[in-house]
Amino acid sequence: MIHQTLSGPLLKQAGIPTDEDVRTINSLKNPPPAPVSEKDIFVRRCRLAGDAIDAYHGRFRTEELSKLLAMVQGAPMLIGHNKRSLGVARFFGGSIEEHEGTHYIVPGFYWLRGHSSSDDLRVAIDGGLYCEASISFAYEKPTCSVCGEDIRTCEHLPGSLVDGQKEPVFYYYDNVVAVLEGSLVYRGAQPGTGFSLSDSRIGSFAPGTPANAFAIEGEEGAAVLQSILRIKRHGKWYRAPLVEEE
């Protein structure tokens, strides 16, 4: 099982909750014990994971997006991945939408007006303090775009060019098993991709994550891919980061 975190922008339209929003929220698998009405909630939307190649050289298969959207339903949203805090909002509903040639899951999220800090959250979102939503998910297999094997063990390097391939090597997030949590985050979206690295990813990565997909923060704040040396010895692959000598 591999853990991955991706994020995408909050969408600007400050939505007025519709009847359908209210119906969807009240019929979540784990619905609010006291049904909500449109007067009880704030609703916003965010563009989450899509089927373009992201900063980690991973991508979702287009046909998997509806499954991912279903997994997001009812998931709580935290602030900045702080698991010790209570969720402030929940994902609900949404659709798969095309944006600049890429398909994205675009769920809504709601929070309660009656909560003592609900206006603080609304101001922070609408004022751009939190400008992204992010999800952590678990999946089983990073499938290589060239050979179809697990990219952690095949000979292809994510982001590298291979003869006869139109685009650099990437991998699919296959067998997504769960969406672990969602968060509101304040990092800027990475230009061109709509995804960004979350804080927790910088300087560390979960065991099992393809090491050569490990991205670090560049000098100008852009995400760059760390160079990795891979060596095969006695039938097993080994990796080491490249460190420039003075």
**Which positions lie near Zn ion, rule CB under 5 A?**
144, 146-147, 154, 156
Nearer to Zn ion, 57 or 81 (CB): 57
Q: Taking the complex as a whole, how short is the minimal distance between the CB of residue 62 and Zn ion, in angstroms?
A: 21
Nearer to Zn ion, 147 or 229 (CB): 147
Q: Taking the complex as a whole, how short is the minimal distance between the CB of residue 141 and Zn ion, in angstroms?
A: 12
Q: Taking the complex as a whole, how short is the minimal distance between the CB of residue 164 and Zn ion, in angstroms?
A: 13
192 burial via Cβ count (<10 Å: 0-12, 13-18, 19+): exposed
Q: Taking the complex as a whole, how short is the minimal distance between the CB of residue 230 and Zn ion, in angstroms?
A: 12
Nearer to Zn ion, 35 or 148 (CB): 148
Nearer to Zn ion, 110 or 171 (CB): 171
Nearer to Zn ion, 145 or 196 (CB): 145
Question: 3-state SS string over the chain?
Answer: CEEEEEEEEECCCCECCCHHHHHHHHCCCCCCCCCCCHHHEEEEEECCCECCCCCCCEECCHHHHHHHHHHHCCCEEEECCCCCCCCCEEEEEEEEEEECCEEEEEEEEEEECCCCCHHHHHHHHHCCCCCEEEEEEEEEEEEECCCCCECCCCCCCCCCCCCCCCCCCCEEEEEEEEEEEEEEECCCCCCCCCCCCCHHHCCCCCCCCCHHHCEEECCCCCEEECCEEEEEECCEEEEEECCCCC
Nearer to Zn ion, 172 or 205 (CB): 172
Tokens for 234, please give them: 């006695």
Q: Taking the complex as a whole, how short is the minimal distance between the CB of residue 153 and Zn ion, in angstroms?
A: 9
Q: Taking the complex as a whole, how short is the minimal distance between the CB of residue 156 and Zn ion, in angstroms?
A: 3
